[in-house]
Amino acid sequence: MSKLTIASLASLAVLLALGASDVAAQSGDPFIATAEEGVVGVAEGSLLGFQDRGIWTYRGVPYAQAARFMAPEPPQPWEGVRVATNYGESCPIPEMEGVANDEQFNPHRYLPESEACQYLNIWTPGIDGNGDRPVMVWLHGGGFTNGSAIEQTAYDGRNLAEKGDVVVVTLNHRLNVLGTLNLSAYGERYAESANTGMADIVVALRWIRDNIEQFGGDPNNVTIFGQSGGGSKVRILMGIEGAHGLFDKAIVQSGASIGSAVMGQDLALRIAERTVQNLGLDERTIQRIEEVSYAELLAAAQQALDQVEQEGLTAEASFRPSIDSRLIPEDPVEAGWEKYARDIPLMIGNVLNENETIIREDPSELLADNKANWSAERTSQKMRERFGQDAGPIGAAWAEAYPELTPQDAYFFDPTRRQGVLYHAALKTRTGEAPVYSWVFAWQSPALDGIAGAWHCAEIPHVFANVELVPQATGGGDRAREMSHQVSQAWINFARQGDPNHSAIPAWAAYTPENGATIIFNDRSVVRHHHDRKIMDILYGGSAD
């Protein structure tokens, strides 16, 4: 590396970028990596990125290093210039058994995996040193088990960075058994093992605070946003001391549910105990757990989850963060928000159908029994199948809540995340003065005759201004672009100033339990007040908020 000239590094960066980017296929414009402009200095050394149609891009930037089950530490410095044009390895995940139902609608990318997965990616309009652009840090979905910073094609940050004149950051961190196994009962060596995945994110936010100004970002104006499991990560970060002061605003996308965001400590310790036993280890041989293969470790942990549930201790056993004596000493939402999130503005919402269409059902079957062809009698029959004696009242309440949608759409409504949104929005208004903005994404993609509705992840291409990058999901064209502008500009404005309002959407008031203000994103977006209260009262007895 030290023998390479800056010019040769620039040429190498061009070649690597041309061979590695999905975005390149969407444009005839060349990638440019110019040594005089493209080298940025960070705490560990110098990075050379590349330009994609005017947006500087830095991939695979190490923000930490960590041995298995150990706390993350700063990465090793390097000499010379590190070429930052390739994405870093992702955290290992359970082996996939087949193509998911939603692959057309949530197209994925997979790269090599490694337990050394602490890398982030940066897109920025300028590296001029001004350091005044809002920073938007994306936390990927997949629960705490799957996913990566680049797993979905729509996670690419280039278009959002350009549209909003913002700095976009995405990151990998430890997942599943590697990020959540609480081995603290086996000695001080493992005192910080319980939440290594969340600890990785905290260290990434510290790295961003210390270095993002070099990429044109304002370390004092950082927004964290995430979807599904990423939204849960946002909720947790809002309520832990270690992340306090590392971000200024938060956006939760389909990541709020009723119940704690973390497991109790006793349950986490029981899962770890069973995992250790399944590996044939004990207190004397515990350090061998650091050397067994990932596949063996994962199998032992998955067996432990099943065992705990079969023993009747709980039905909540899963790979997720837990209460510990270090990073998460108390429930981060119920106890932590009041301490650490009082001044954090929040946007929180969900998509209309979540898991009730192509996430759960085979698209071929949905297309064969297309809701658009249902008669009134067929619709009533389907509603009774799903909602029983509440079918009639829910159908009537649906017509009031969403008059622009069809009666058939009520059958595919998924209320669970909306219940979580209302609960957390109300809680946040009680634990601080910062505004809360509630939203529902109801836009129906034309793909496959609209059978998918607004599925889990449907808003992501719109948030990232990437509807043309995944036309198989969004349909592309003017209608998708107009929807994307409504959504992405709201996210950008919120990141810039804590208020999502802009000229292409109706006046969007901050939510309170009294006004129930919620924007419904659609071709003609509207703001309604307590629009779905009757539905939620029928389903949950008025307990949603």
Residues annotated as part of the active site: 228
Closest among 530, 491, 522, 492 to 506, alpha carbons compared: 522
Instruction: Measure the CA–CA gap between 196 and 50, rounded to whole angstroms.
Output: 32
- On whether the CB atoms of residues 450 and 490 are closer than 8 A, the answer is no
Give the number of other CB atoms < 10 A from CB of residue 523.
12
Residue 81 β-bridge partners = 46
Q: Which two tokens stand for residue 81?
A: 């210039």
CA distances from 532 to 144, 195, 378 (A): 30, 37, 24
Closest among 253, 236, 72 to 154, alpha carbons compared: 253
- The DSSP 8-state label assigned to residue 334 in this structure reads T
Closest among 228, 271, 370, 294 to 95, alpha carbons compared: 294
Sign of the alpha-carbon torsion through 288, 291, 293, 298 = positive
Q: Which two tokens stand for residue 47?
A: 């990075």
- On whether the CB atoms of residues 27 and 53 are closer than 8 A, the answer is yes
329 sits in the region (left: phi over 0; alpha: psi -120 to 50; else beta) called alpha
Instruction: Measure the CA–CA gap between 533 and 530, rounded to whole angstroms.
Output: 5
- On whether the CB atoms of residues 417 and 254 are closer than 8 A, the answer is yes
Q: Which two tokens stand for residue 532?
A: 């779905």
Instruction: Measure the CA–CA gap between 317 and 263, rounded to whole angstroms.
Output: 8
Instruction: Measure the CA–CA gap between 175 and 197, rounded to whole angstroms.
Output: 6
